[in-house]
């Protein structure tokens, strides 16, 4: 008596259970076939087992475990092989003497040991595969052998369905990530083209804000982990996306804005929030878009509450917005704009220091001063043409 059979007698377990458990954990079609190849022959008591996949009008003998080679790797037209017949007719086929049955392509069997076979479709209602059991002598499967073979086929069907669901899930997740990256890229380029006077502003601010966030990490260990810093870095280019909604005559005005124009310019924070919210509705909420929205909406708030759009103050302003405020202003100061000249790095640092506790978070200003040489370096690296 085999070990498995004895085990079954001892505790009443079905020896096929273990194979079914393994099948339920398979993560790919190859793993499903591995489990069947490694276990089915012994469990069924056959001389050979094949795993046949349906490929349109072909039957693909994908895998086998037999006392001598069968047809592994070969493809046969569905109409000419018995696995095809079983799948098309959704029936179990039992053939005691294969040479007496004209559904069998005898030429393909002559070089093999096979005298008898049983073929079971995988997924009875819409077969996607079949499992064959073969014997070197004339043999009709016992009820127990047939029961085991059917259980294996049914479990393989469930496993294959799970695998294809899993594959579809992974594919759609990858697709969503690709689509999101493409949309972010498109949005950021749009913002850049629209705000072209500032050249590399979006790239520079992205790098400044990451440098500052890295420096701030020890002070905010709960808020600024690797993932969050990466999110801030990736979403920073969208901070001025709302400028798409500000008219050219204001955006590109060579002089100072009057009160009314300035008020329109300020709407870019709210417009940015709405644009990203619209993207969230289309793409589904994500931490990336949530951070992007936060930065777009709060990068003009001021520590003392005198900023816009909501006049938030102190730590009511999200950390990402407080970080971005320094990066954004530093870049505006050291870059030439249509309405003003650039000022030297050291003057910009002094100006930001003078706004400590007024415009900017005092703690972040200290960190900015410590990291200022990196800001200077980034500015040189992404210099406007
Ligand atoms: Fe802005
Ligand atoms: Fe900006």
- Give mean pLDDT, residues 88-98: 96
For ligand 1, the distance from its centroid to the CA atom of residue 178, given in whole angstroms, is 27
For ligand 1, the distance from its centroid to the CA atom of residue 247, given in whole angstroms, is 15
Tokens standing for residue 21: 């458990």
Q: Which residue from 45, 22, 46, 43 is spatially nearest to 34, judged by alpha carbons?
A: 22
For ligand 1, the distance from its centroid to the CA atom of residue 99, given in whole angstroms, is 82
User: Would the pLDDT of 34 be above 50?
Assistant: yes
Band (199; pLDDT cuts 50, 70, 90): low
For ligand 2, the distance from its centroid to the CA atom of residue 297, given in whole angstroms, is 12
Give me the percent of the chain exceeding a pLDDT of 70. Answer: 94
User: Would the pLDDT of 8 be above 50?
Assistant: no
For ligand 2, the distance from its centroid to the CA atom of residue 176, given in whole angstroms, is 28
- Average pLDDT score, the chain: 89
- Expressed in angstroms, the distance from the first to the final Cα of the chain is 84
For ligand 2, the distance from its centroid to the CA atom of residue 190, given in whole angstroms, is 14
Looking at the CA of 331, name the nearest ligand.
2
Tokens standing for residue 371: 């990291």
Higher pLDDT, 11 or 334: 334
Band (323; pLDDT cuts 50, 70, 90): very high
User: Would the pLDDT of 305 be above 90?
Assistant: yes
For ligand 1, the distance from its centroid to the CA atom of residue 67, given in whole angstroms, is 74
What is residue 12's predicted lDDT score, i.e. its pLDDT?
62
User: Would the pLDDT of 31 be above 50?
Assistant: yes
**Statement: the pTM of the whole predicted model exceeds 0.85:** no
What is residue 382's predicted lDDT score, i.e. its pLDDT?
85
For ligand 2, the distance from its centroid to the CA atom of residue 202, given in whole angstroms, is 7
Q: Which of 47-61, 181-195, 283-297, 344-358 has the lowest mean pLDDT?
A: 181-195
User: Would the pLDDT of 194 be above 60?
Assistant: yes
Tokens standing for residue 233: 């870095």
User: Would the pLDDT of 180 be above 50?
Assistant: yes
For tokens 């979403």, what's the residue?
235
- Give mean pLDDT, residues 235-246: 88
For ligand 1, the distance from its centroid to the CA atom of residue 166, given in whole angstroms, is 42
Looking at the CA of 270, name the nearest ligand.
1
- Cβ contact 384:200 at 8 Å: yes
- Give mean pLDDT, residues 303-310: 98
For ligand 2, the distance from its centroid to the CA atom of residue 243, given in whole angstroms, is 9
For ligand 2, the distance from its centroid to the CA atom of residue 302, given in whole angstroms, is 15
Q: How many residues does the chain have?
A: 385
Tokens standing for residue 15: 């020896």
Sketch out the chain's domains with CATH numbers: 3-168 (3.30.450.40), 195-381 (1.10.3210.10)
What is residue 1's predicted lDDT score, i.e. its pLDDT?
45
User: Would the pLDDT of 10 be above 70?
Assistant: no
Residue 172: which residues within 8 A CB-CB, separation 6 or more? none
Backbone angles phi, psi at 200, to 5 degrees: -85, 15
For tokens 């969503």, what's the residue?
176
Q: What is each CA distance from 304 to 239, 263, 316, 362, in whole angstroms? A: 21, 20, 11, 11
For ligand 1, the distance from its centroid to the CA atom of residue 245, given in whole angstroms, is 12
For ligand 2, the distance from its centroid to the CA atom of residue 323, given in whole angstroms, is 12
Q: Rounded CA gap, 242 and 222, in Å?
A: 30
User: Would the pLDDT of 126 be above 90?
Assistant: no
Percent helix, strand, coil in the chain (nearest 5)? Answer: 60, 10, 30
Looking at the CA of 267, name the nearest ligand.
1
User: Would the pLDDT of 157 be above 60?
Assistant: yes
Q: Rounded CA gap, 241 and 235, in Å?
A: 11
DSSP character for 256?
Answer: -
For ligand 1, the distance from its centroid to the CA atom of residue 103, given in whole angstroms, is 75
For ligand 2, the distance from its centroid to the CA atom of residue 330, given in whole angstroms, is 10
For ligand 1, the distance from its centroid to the CA atom of residue 298, given in whole angstroms, is 9
For ligand 2, the distance from its centroid to the CA atom of residue 119, given in whole angstroms, is 69
For ligand 2, the distance from its centroid to the CA atom of residue 238, given in whole angstroms, is 9
Q: Rounded CA gap, 121 and 156, in Å?
A: 10
Q: Rounded CA gap, 70 and 135, in Å?
A: 12
Q: Rounded CA gap, 111 and 227, in Å?
A: 61
Largest Cα–Cα separation, the chain: 99
Q: Which of 78-82, 285-289, 314-318 has the lowest mean pLDDT?
A: 285-289
Backbone angles phi, psi at 90, to 5 degrees: 50, 50
Give me the percent of the chain exceeding a pLDDT of 90. Answer: 64
- Give mean pLDDT, residues 232-237: 90
- Give mean pLDDT, residues 39-55: 94
What is residue 198's predicted lDDT score, i.e. its pLDDT?
53
Q: Rounded CA gap, 120 and 106, in Å?
A: 20
């Amino acid at each position: 008596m085999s070990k498995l059979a004895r085990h079954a007698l001892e505790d009443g377990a079905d020896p096929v259970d273990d194979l079914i458990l393994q099948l339920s954990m398979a993560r790919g079609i190859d793993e499903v076939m591995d489990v069947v190849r490694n276990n089915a022959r012994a469990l069924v008591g056959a001389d050979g087992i094949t795993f046949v996949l349906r490929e349109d009008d072909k039957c693909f003998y994908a895998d086998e475990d037999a006392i001598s080679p069968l047809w592994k790797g070969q493809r046969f037209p569905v109409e000419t092989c018995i696995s095809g017949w079983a799948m098309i007719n959704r029936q179990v086929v039992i053939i005691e003497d294969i040479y007496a049955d004209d559904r069998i392509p005898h030429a393909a069997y002559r070089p093999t040991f096979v005298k008898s076979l049983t073929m079971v479709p995988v997924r009875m209602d819409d077969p996607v595969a079949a499992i064959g059991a073969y014997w070197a002598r004339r043999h009709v499967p016992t009820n127990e052998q047939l029961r085991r073979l059917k259980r294996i086929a049914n479990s393989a069907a469930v496993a294959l369905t799970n695998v294809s669901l899993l594959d579809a899930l992974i594919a759609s997740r990858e697709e969503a990530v690709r689509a999101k990256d493409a949309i972010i890229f498109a949005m950021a380029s749009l913002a850049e083209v629209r705000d072209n006077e500032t050249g590399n502003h979006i790239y520079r601010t992205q790098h400044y804000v990451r440098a500052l966030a890295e420096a701030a990490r020890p002070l905010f260990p709960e808020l600024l982990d690797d993932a969050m810093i990466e999110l801030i870095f990736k979403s920073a280019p969208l901070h001025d996306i709302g400028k798409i909604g500000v008219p050219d005559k204001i955006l590109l005005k060579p002089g100072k804005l009057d009160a009314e124009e300035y008020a329109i310019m300020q709407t870019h924070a709210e417009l940015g929030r709405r644009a990203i919210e619209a993207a969230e509705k289309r793409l589904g909420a994500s931490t990336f878009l949530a951070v992007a929205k936060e930065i777009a909406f709060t990068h003009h708030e001021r520590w003392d509450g005198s900023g816009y759009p909501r006049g938030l103050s102190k730590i009511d302003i999200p950390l990402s917005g407080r970080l971005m405020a320094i990066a954004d202003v530093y870049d505006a100061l050291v870059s030439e704009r249509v309405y003003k000249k650039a000022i030297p790095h050291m003057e910009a640092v002094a100006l930001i220091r003078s706004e400590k506790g007024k415009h900017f978070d005092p703690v972040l200003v200290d960190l900015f001063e410590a990291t200022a040489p990196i800001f200077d370096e980034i500015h040189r690296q992404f210099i406007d043409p």
